[in-house]
Homo-oligomer: A and B are copies of this chain.
Amino acid sequence: MRATVIHGPNDIRVEEVPDPVIQHPTDAVVRVVNACICGSDLWAYRGVAARVAGQRIGHEFLGIVEETGSEVRDFRRGDFVVAPFVWSDGTCDYCREGLQTSCPHGGFWGQVGSDGGQGEAVRVPFADGTLVQLPKEAASDEKLLPGLLALSDVMATGHHAAVTAGVRPGATVAVVGDGAVGLCGVLAAHRLGAGRIIALGRHQARTDIARKFGATDVVAARGEEAVEAVRELTGGQGAHAVLEAVGTEESMRTAISIARDGGAVGYVGVPHGGSAGVDIGQMFGRNVSLRGGVAPARAYIPELLPDVLSGAIDPGLVFDRTVGLEGVPDGYRAMDDRSALKVRIAF
């Protein structure tokens, strides 16, 4: 089959690789229908996150089950499924508690020895613990596919930011970052009943989506200027809940600074600034909490799915370009130079 492989910084290729086969009785093989490129894939693309030359890449996909191992009970050939960005056994303490990202048998698509989502097919370990069933008819519904695809990571991650930041009905929320995760954070906060949502972002095409998703205010600034603006919008107090969806030192500093005393930052941007942006002295004096982390998408998909199917939310709006598999390298370039927000791959 053909799949996307990363050979080094700025070196993404689509190549022939071995077809996936069932290796364990709990495996399934899924033929990919839709996949996409994640902002976090760019860390590898840019050489910031290390990868072994030849590693697969991509961790978000929808597909049709092609084959199942002898112990797979919940899925059969022909089922349409979404995969969260981490696989998990579904039976350990953490899986049962809804923190599948901490499953001791879990793993991340594209890690050495596994398939990536940006390929024609994927071997899925622990299919029963990992995959979520979708309505079969949705597999050919071009209106629904983008929203369903967003559940594999970006919408679940935005939701995790909102949940961990403690968004409640009526709350004032601020979202740092206008990437696809930040935008989904806006949508998640709106879905959870936030009274006011301040989106921080400087790219109008993106903040326009933020407004569609429920943002009531946009702050087109960064750093101190953004902090001032949010304080001014909130009577000097800041936001009850801040969603941090970037992962740099500056974005974390901004997020903590715009949190209201006693409030929380829910951070989901993969940290690339160490702890330098975490001003523990400021957090201590103002009782600002820092929560979040890698989102247990598997736990959230069942909650979010009905709202995508009903059209109550459409996180698929974050996709502004669609390519075929052979167009994936172009997709990386477009996301890297910010000419695309998020690229969908249709097989």
Contact = CB atoms under 8 A, between A and B. Distances in A.
Interface string A67-97: 0000000000000000000000000011001
A97 to B, nearest CB: 7
Contacts of A285: 101, 293-294
B237 A93 contact: yes
A280 B274 contact: yes
A286 B102 contact: yes
Contacts of A289: 164, 289-292
Nearest to A263: B99
29 contacts: A94-B262, A97-B262, A101-B285, A101-B287, A102-B262, A164-B287, A252-B280, A267-B284, A270-B284, A271-B281, A274-B280, A274-B281, A275-B275, A275-B276, A275-B278, A275-B279, A278-B280, A283-B293, A284-B293, A284-B294, A285-B293, A285-B294, A287-B292, A287-B293, A287-B296, A289-B289, A289-B291, A289-B292, A291-B291
A153 to B, nearest CB: 15
A62 to B, nearest CB: 25
A292 B278 CA distance: 14
Interface in A265-315: 267, 270-271, 274-276, 278-281, 283-294, 296
A161 to B, nearest CB: 12
A293 B276 CA distance: 19
A251 to B, nearest CB: 12
Contacts of A281: 271, 274
A261 interface: yes
Interface of A: 93-94, 97, 99, 101-102, 164, 237, 252, 261-262, 264, 267, 270-271, 274-276, 278-281, 283-294, 296
Given A285-B294, A289-B291, A294-B287, A102 B267 contact: no
A284 B292 contact: yes
A284 B271 CA distance: 8
Contacts of A276: 275
Contacts of A252: 280
Contact of A293 (B275, B288, B296): B288
A274 B274 CA distance: 13
A71 B283 CA distance: 34
Nearest to A262: B99
A336 B285 CA distance: 24
Contacts of A93: 237
Contacts of A94: 261-262
Contacts of A271: 280-281, 284
A101 B286 CA distance: 8
A173 B166 CA distance: 23
B237 A287 contact: no
A211 B89 CA distance: 39
A99 B287 contact: yes
Contacts of A278: 275, 278, 280
Contacts of A296: 287
Nearest to A235: B93
Most B CB contacts (10 A, CB to CB) among A252, A288, A293 go to: A293
